[in-house]
């Protein structure tokens, strides 16, 4: 029987074997080539390292990322999804194994005379027992079981890729939250220096007014400008606090249990080298959402075979042995029985419904293919957009830095002219206001660049390698 099963199982599985469709976007030359924005001096064509956050050379950041990878709740949920997928795979794989049954009964009763074809001769009451054991094996003649296992394997791969996607996001958002805390701390420091500068200017105005060289209007204007700059502090402090709360939750803690050591950070770490970005081919290999989408396409393709196999007969090989009789004749020769043979089932009336299920499986495969292409295109768009945004923001930061130097010189010049009595106080206020605005703009630009860097790494899909994910 086992030899026959092996021969029958050797038949080819129905339905298409999975191969990435030739027309897939992922196969195109343009998708695998260099990025359009990678020629900027801010980028390096080297591949993205898996531990890209270590490029910041911050032990504090590294510690926070490691803590998030252990305690983040989204990662724990993603790990649970892997376990569920593995359970589904084990369930599908179990269909390859023989099924065994055991039976043991004992009853007290009487069979009818008619049942025994002995009318008019009632039978006596007796204790009757039954013992039996059986084994059955479904021959996977047309590969339905194999396709089911193939689909479950692909679903497991998709769950692992989903875990990696979550890991990439957790690493990026933890890094972003840390950089935000430090960036807002720096912006607060800049705002406090601006307030101090404005207060100094206001005090000078009061002194000049007392000596008869100024007016109450000058004092009022200077005081109002000071209050305007001071008004930015509550917003910045709130934003820093919110970033601390985000960081706490990302690392598996309640908001109030945020890392106190990070609270005092007022200067975000900077990259000491251009950002390594690789190319499109590396992106397609690295982005876990692309892997997940292709696994889903593979699973959908295998399910076509599962549905198609229902068009053909199912063969089950079985054998059983047992003993049935009166209790007093327990295991006598006359009570023994056995059976051996195949069972063939074929559902002819359901062919129209089976064909409908096949068409539905084909449609699911086409949907999965479209989503796969869409995922690839979106990944390329996100990468190019992140590179372009970072490059342009770098240019903006350079222009703002030049503006700050000019505004600083203008403020110094107007202060000197005012001190010499060669101009009024209004130009001083204007120059000071301009310098304050530009310095705040530079600080905000630095914060934007820090966030842009995280967006680049997130779009490139780094941070999941050697993830230590479940099985």
At CA 388, angle to CA 385 and CA 392, rounded to 5? 140
**What gap in Å lies between CA 210 and CA 289, rounded to an integer?**
69
Q: In 318-424, where does DSSP find H-type helix?
A: 351-419
From the list 253, 231, 255, the residue with the least C-alpha distance to 243 is 255
Residue 117 DSSP label: T
pLDDT (0 to 100) of residue 10: 45
pTM reported for the whole predicted model:
0.86
Taking alpha carbons only, the member of 35, 63, 29, 445 closest to residue 275 is: 35
Neighbouring C-beta atoms of residue 343, cutoff 10 Å: 11
DSSP state string for 70-125: HH-HHHHHHHHHHHHHHHHHHHHHGGGS-EEEEEEEEEEE---TTTTT-TT-PPPP
Paired tokens of 152: 């479950």
Beta bridge partners of 134: 101, 320
339 strand-pairing partners: 320
- Please state, in angstroms and rounded to a whole number, the distance separating the CA atoms of residues 437 and 408: 11
Q: How high is the pLDDT of residue 70? A: 94
Q: How remote is the C-alpha of 339 from its chain's centroid?
A: 54
Radius of gyration of the chain from its Cα atoms, rounded to whole angstroms:
38
Place of tokens 């390096």: 44
102-109 long-range contacts (CB < 8 A, ≥24 apart) are 102/132, 102/133, 103/130, 103/131, 103/132, 103/133, 103/134, 103/322, 104/129, 104/130, 104/131, 104/132, 105/129, 105/130, 106/130, 106/327
The answer to whether the beta carbons of residues 471 and 86 sit under 8 Å apart is yes
Nearest to 127 by CA among 105, 112, 106: 106
Report phi then psi at 419, rounded to 5.
-65, -30
Q: What DSSP character marks residue 26? A: G
User: How high is the pLDDT of residue 125?
Assistant: 82
How many CB atoms are closer than 10 A to CB 128?
17
Residue 211's contacts (CB-CB under 8 Å, 6 or more residues apart) are: none
319: which 2 tokens?
Answer: 């054998």
Closest CA to 129 of 321, 320, 338, 323: 323
Phi (first) and psi of residue 320, to 5 degrees: -145, 155
pLDDT of residue 213: 67
Backbone angles phi, psi at 465, to 5 degrees: -60, 145
Residues 6 or more apart whose CB falls under 8 angstroms from that of 100 comprise: 133, 134, 135
Which residue bears the tokens 């006598």? 332
Q: Collapse the DSSP code of 271 into the 3-class scheme (helix H, G, I; strand E, B; otherwise coil) and give the result.
A: coil
Cα of 399 vs its chain's centroid, Å: 37
Q: Rounded to whole angstroms, how far apart are CA atoms 364 and 344?
A: 30
CA distance 122 to 249: 80
Per-position pLDDT tens, the chain of length 471: 434 444 444 457 899 999 999 999 999 999 999 999 998 999 999 999 999 999 999 999 999 999 999 999 999 999 999 999 999 999 999 999 999 999 999 898 877 776 666 777 777 788 989 999 999 998 988 999 999 999 999 999 999 999 999 999 999 999 999 999 999 999 999 999 888 888 887 887 787 777 776 678 878 887 888 888 899 999 999 999 999 999 999 999 999 999 988 999 999 999 989 999 999 999 999 999 999 999 999 999 999 999 999 999 888 899 999 999 888 888 888 889 988 888 887 776 578 899 999 999 999 999 999 999 999 999 999 999 999 999 999 999 999 999 999 999 998 988 888 777 777 777 877 888 888 889 999 999 999 999 999 999 999 998 777 656 666
Q: Burial of 104 by CB count in 10 Å (0-12 exposed, 13-18 middle, 19+ buried)?
A: exposed
Tokens linked to 280: 């499109």
pLDDT value at residue 470:
65
With contact defined as beta carbons under 8 Å apart, do 240 and 258 qualify? no
Q: What is the DSSP letter of 329?
A: G
Q: How far is CA 101 from the centre of its chain?
A: 44
Instruction: Classify domain 2-98+141-312+353-460 at the CATH topology level.
Output: Outer membrane efflux proteins (OEP) (1.20.1600)
Domain layout of the chain by residue ranges: 2-98+141-312+353-460
């Amino acid at each position: 029987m086992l030899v026959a099963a092996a021969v029958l199982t050797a038949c080819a599985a129905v339905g298409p074997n999975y191969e990435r469709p030739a027309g897939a976007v992922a196969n195109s030359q343009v998708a695998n080539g260099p990025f359009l924005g990678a020629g900027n001096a801010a980028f390096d064509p080297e591949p993205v390292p898996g531990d890209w956050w270590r490029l910041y050379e911050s032990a504090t950041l590294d510690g926070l990322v490691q803590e998030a990878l252990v305690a983040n709740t989204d990662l724990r949920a993603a790990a649970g999804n892997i376990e569920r997928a593995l359970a589904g795979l084990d369930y599908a794989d179990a269909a390859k194994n023989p099924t065994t049954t055991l039976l043991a009964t004992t009853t007290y009763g009487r069979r009818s005379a008619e049942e025994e074809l002995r009318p008019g001769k009632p039978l006596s009451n007796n204790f009757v027992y039954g013992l039996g054991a059986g084994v059955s094996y479904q021959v996977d003649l047309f590969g339905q079981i194999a396709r089911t296992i193939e689909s479950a394997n692909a679903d497991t791969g998709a769950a692992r890729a989903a875990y990696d996607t979550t890991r990439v996001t957790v690493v990026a958002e933890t890094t972003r939250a840390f950089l935000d805390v430090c960036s807002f701390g720096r912006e607060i420091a800049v705002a406090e220096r601006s307030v101090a500068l404005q207060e100094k200017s206001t005090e000078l105005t009061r002194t000049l007014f007392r000596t008869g060289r100024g007016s109450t209007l000058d004092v009022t204007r200077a005081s109002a400008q000071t209050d305007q700059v001071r008004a930015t502090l509550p917003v910045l402090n709130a934003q820093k606090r919110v970033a601390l709360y985000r960081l706490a939750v990302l690392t598996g803690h309640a908001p109030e249990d945020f890392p106190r050591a990070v609270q005092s950070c007022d200067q975000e770490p900077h990259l000491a080298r251009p950002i390594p970005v690789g190319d499109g081919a590396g992106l397609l290999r690295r982005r876990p959402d692309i892997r997940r989408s292709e696994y889903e396409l593979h699973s959908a393709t295998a399910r076509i075979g599962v549905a198609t196999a229902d068009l053909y007969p199912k063969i089950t090989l079985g054998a059983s042995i047992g003993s049935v009789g009166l209790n007093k004749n327990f295991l006598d020769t006359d009570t023994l029985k056995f059976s051996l043979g195949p069972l063939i089932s074929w559902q002819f009336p359901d062919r129209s419904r089976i064909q409908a299920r096949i068409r539905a499986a084909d449609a699911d495969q086409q949907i999965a293919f479209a989503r796969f292409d869409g995922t690839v295109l979106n990944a390329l768009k996100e990468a190019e957009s992140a590179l372009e945004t970072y490059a342009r923001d770098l240019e903006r930061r350079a222009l703002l830095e030049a503006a700050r130097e000019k505004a600083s010189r203008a403020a110094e010049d107007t202060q000197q002219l005012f001190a010499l009595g060669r101009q009024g106080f209004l130009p001083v206020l204007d120059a000071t206001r301009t310098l304050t605005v530009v310095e705040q703009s530079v600080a905000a630009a630095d914060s934007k660049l820090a966030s842009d860097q995280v967006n680049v790494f997130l779009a490139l899909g780094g941070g999941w390698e050697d993830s230590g994910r479940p099985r």
